[in-house]
């Protein structure tokens, strides 16, 4: 019997060795109401959710998140490996044979979902952009080149990416501040692609390498790019958001806010941070899929709560900065120069000049100026 497409269904995941099997089971309307009302999260008509948990949270349980994460990992456009080349350790990135149609499919999803980013579909465009960005940001000490039409080789940067530090519990204030400084530096470069300031497009913590010896963070991995129609301020704010989403999804309750503030204070661009405040909202529609990837399919309630907290802190920070600037203007003392002289105070051209001329004279009887000759 054909299933009514409007009839509610239950998605279940059964785990077998090395694979996950997804099954869909149809349930009647009465059973749906009984099952959902029994959970204590729905009351009244179907779809009216009570409490903090929303529909999106029920769509991304832990098991589904794990399965989706494995699916995303399996759809890599590039293959990456490390090799020794002329006594230097290099990272070799090579486009797979199915990379172009897969990138086009992903870009179609981004357009439909209204997400202003895209993959470099054509291999030559990706190769050019990867080499240019690496040279621009890391060419002061490291090399990058393209040995063939599908490959990019770059020196392996010293250090470890911040995503690993976050999961290992070794993330520090110095690392977050270094990441903020590096993003601010990178956003000051000019790009011919954007005809304006450069932006990353995928500035997650896994693409930020921190070197403990030099206290320096560096950016890598330039497969995704922002749409050129997006203003520079919005692109920069999106880079900050992508970085913070990794932190919000995984960092423990006792540390995440301090780590985020260290990062934002080190970035030190009030205009971009104010733009970020407008982007701290959960998406709608099919954009939820990419949002789940960005947040490692973390609990949407937790993500929403933390985004709201950061938005409040940013608003307070902007108010504090405005208050400090206003107080500084009010406390500013009057200048002692370039002021109109009050009546009764001699000008510098009269009394002061006369005193200086008399002091220069050899004696009171000798004039300071020589007589005029004819």
Instruction: Give the per-residue pLDDT at 367.
Output: 59
Q: Which residues contact 69 (CB under 8 A, 6 or more apart)?
A: 293, 296, 297
Using CA atoms of 183, 184, 189, 194 in order, give the dihedral in degrees to the nearest 10. Answer: 70
Instruction: Give the per-residue pLDDT at 38.
Output: 38
Shared-domain flag, residues 123 and 50: no
> Which of 47, 68, 89 is the endpoint of a domain?
68
Give the SS3 label for residue 137. helix
Shared-domain flag, residues 23 and 135: no
Shared-domain flag, residues 118 and 241: yes
Q: Count Cβ atoms below 10 Å from residue 72 Cβ, excluding itself.
A: 15
Instruction: Give the per-residue pLDDT at 200.
Output: 97
Instruction: Give the per-residue pLDDT at 280.
Output: 92
pLDDT tens-digit series, residues 186-238: 999 999 999 999 999 999 999 999 999 999 999 999 999 999 999 999 999 99
Q: Which residues contact 350 (CB under 8 A, 6 or more apart)?
A: none
- Whether 230 is in a domain gets the answer yes
Shared-domain flag, residues 189 and 294: yes
Mean of pLDDT values over 95-105: 87
Long-range contacts from 315-321, C-beta under 8 angstroms, 24+ separation? 315/277, 317/264, 317/273, 318/270, 318/273, 318/274, 318/277, 321/270
pLDDT, mean over the chain: 78
Shared-domain flag, residues 167 and 46: no
Identify the domain containing residue 41 by its residue range.
9-68
- Whether 367 is in a domain gets the answer no
Beta-bridge mates of residue 92? 81, 153
Mean of pLDDT values over 150-174: 96
Shared-domain flag, residues 118 and 251: yes
pTM for the model: 0.69
As a whole number of angstroms, the distance between CA 367 and CA 101 comes to 97
- Whether 162 is in a domain gets the answer yes
Residue with tokens 């990138």: 103
- Whether 338 is in a domain gets the answer no
Mean of pLDDT values over 141-165: 95
Instruction: Give the per-residue pLDDT at 364.
Output: 57
Backbone angles phi, psi at 6, to 5 degrees: -90, -5
- Whether 79 is in a domain gets the answer yes
Kindly tell me if the per-residue pLDDT of 73 is higher than 50.
yes
> Which of 68, 97, 117 is the endpoint of a domain?
68
pLDDT tens-digit series, residues 302-355: 999 999 999 988 887 766 566 556 666 766 655 555 555 555 555 555 566 666
Higher pLDDT, 163 or 84: 163
> Which of 18, 40, 68 is the endpoint of a domain?
68
Shared-domain flag, residues 218 and 83: yes
Q: Count Cβ atoms below 10 Å from residue 139 Cβ, excluding itself.
A: 13
Instruction: Pick the most confident of 56-65, 277-286, 363-372.
Output: 277-286
Per-residue burial over 145-163, b if 16 or more Cβ lie within 10 Å, else e, is: eeeeebbbbbbbbbbebbb
Shared-domain flag, residues 57 and 165: no
Instruction: Give the per-residue pLDDT at 285.
Output: 87
Residue with tokens 């004279």: 361
Nearest Cα neighbor of 183 from 206, 157, 208 is: 208
Instruction: Give the per-residue pLDDT at 358.
Output: 65
DSSP string for residues in 198-254: ---S---GGGEEEETTTTEEEE----EEE-TTS-HHHHHHHHHHHHHHHHHHHS-TT
Instruction: Give the per-residue pLDDT at 315.
Output: 82
Shared-domain flag, residues 155 and 39: no
Mean of pLDDT values over 159-165: 97
- Whether 348 is in a domain gets the answer no
pLDDT tens-digit series, residues 269-290: 999 999 998 899 899 888 988 9
Tokens of 100: 């172009």
Shared-domain flag, residues 310 and 164: yes
Cα–Cα distances (Å) from 305 to 73, 197, 252, in that order, read 27, 32, 14
- Whether 309 is in a domain gets the answer yes
Instruction: Give the per-residue pLDDT at 295.
Output: 92
The CATH number covering residue 200 comes to: 1.10.510
pLDDT category at 98 given cuts 50, 70, 90 is: confident
As a whole number of angstroms, the distance between CA 335 and CA 73 comes to 64
- Whether 293 is in a domain gets the answer yes
HSE of 242, CA atoms in CB hemisphere, 13 A: 26
Shared-domain flag, residues 79 and 215: yes
pLDDT category at 85 given cuts 50, 70, 90 is: confident
Tokens of 329: 């203007």
Instruction: Give the per-residue pLDDT at 102.
Output: 87
Report the chain's terminal Cα–Cα distance, integer Å.
128
Q: Are 255 and 215 in contact (CB under 8 A)?
A: no
Higher pLDDT, 87 or 363: 87
User: In the chain, pLDDT over 70 holds for what percent of residues?
Assistant: 65
Shared-domain flag, residues 60 and 193: no
DSSP string for residues in 139-208: TTT--EEEEETTEEEEEPPSSEEHHHHHHHT---HHHHHHHHHHHHHHTTSEETTTTEE---S---GGGE
Q: Are 58 and 32 in contact (CB under 8 A)?
A: no
Could you give the number of structural domains in the chain?
Answer: 2
């Amino acid at each position: 019997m054909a299933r009514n497409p409007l009839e509610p269904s239950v998605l279940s995941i059964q785990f077998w060795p090395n694979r996950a099997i997804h099954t869909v089971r149809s349930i009647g309307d009465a059973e749906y109401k009984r099952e959902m009302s029994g959970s204590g999260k729905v009351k009244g008509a179907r779809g009216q959710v009570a409490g903090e948990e929303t529909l999106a949270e029920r769509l991304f349980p832990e098991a589904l998140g794990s399965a989706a994460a494995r699916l995303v990992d399996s759809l890599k456009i590039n293959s990456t490996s490390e090799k020794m080349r002329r006594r230097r350790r290099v990272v070799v990135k090579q486009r797979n044979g199915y990379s172009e149609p897969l990138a086009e499919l992903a870009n179609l999803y981004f357009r439909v979902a209204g997400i202003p980013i895209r993959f470099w579909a054509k291999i030559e465009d990706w190769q050019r952009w990867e080499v240019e960005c690496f040279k621009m940001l890391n060419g002061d000490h490291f090399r990058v080149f393209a040995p063939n039409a599908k490959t990019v080789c770059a020196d392996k940067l010293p250090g470890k990416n911040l995503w690993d530090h976050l999961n290992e519990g070794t993330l520090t204030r110095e690392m977050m501040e270094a990441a903020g400084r590096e993003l601010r530096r990178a956003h000051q470069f000019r790009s011919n692609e954007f005809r304006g300031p450069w932006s990353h497009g995928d500035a997650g913590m896994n693409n930020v390498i921190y070197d403990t010896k030099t206290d320096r963070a560096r950016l890598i991995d330039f497969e995704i790019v922002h749409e050129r129609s997006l203003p520079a301020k919005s692109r920069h704010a999106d880079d900050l958001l992508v970085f913070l989403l990794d932190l919000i999804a995984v960092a423990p309750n006792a540390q995440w806010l301090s780590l985020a503030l260290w990062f934002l204070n080190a970035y030190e661009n009030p205009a971009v941070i104010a733009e970020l405040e407008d982007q701290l909202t959960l998406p709608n529609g099919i954009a939820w899929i990419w949002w789940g990837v960005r947040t490692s399919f973390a609990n949407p309630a937790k993500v929403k709560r933390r985004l709201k907290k950061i938005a409040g802190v940013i608003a307070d920070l902007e108010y504090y900065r405005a208050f400090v600037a206003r107080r500084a203007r009010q406390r500013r003392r009057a200048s002692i120069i370039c002021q109109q002289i009050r009546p009764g105070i001699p000008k510098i051209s009269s009394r002061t000049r006369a005193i200086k001329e008399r002091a220069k004279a050899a004696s009171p009887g000798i004039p300071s100026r020589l007589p005029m000759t004819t």
